[in-house]
Amino acid sequence: MKVYKIPFDIKHEEKIFGGYLSLRQVLYLLLIILTAGVFFINVQMWVKLTIFCSFALIFLSFAFIKIQETRLDLYVVNIIKYLFRKKRYQFER
């Protein structure tokens, strides 16, 4: 039997769940469900809703938004890496 090399498509994520969601997107949606645990904390309801909605908005953005064909979570990581990276300034005349 012949063996053929299959090229990896690293530009696109494989949609595993129902053909619509990738593993990364499902994990972010699970994080939203876990964040719903804030409703079991004994504080006022508006505080619970504020915390839940803010985290849900962040996780939904990370799961589905792309900026210039780059996922938002990777985009944010790249920005943070740029901000904390040591920069070299070279003066030339």
Angle between helices 45-64 and 72-84 (to 10 degrees): 90
Count of CB atoms situated within 10 Å of the CB of 8: 6
Structure tokens belonging to residue 67: 């900026």
Cα-based distances in Å from 43 to 26, 27, 48:
29, 27, 7
Per-residue tens of pLDDT for the chain, all 93 residues: 888 887 776 777 788 888 899 999 999 999 999 999 888 889 999 999 999 999 999 999 999 999 998 999 999 999 999 999 988 888 887
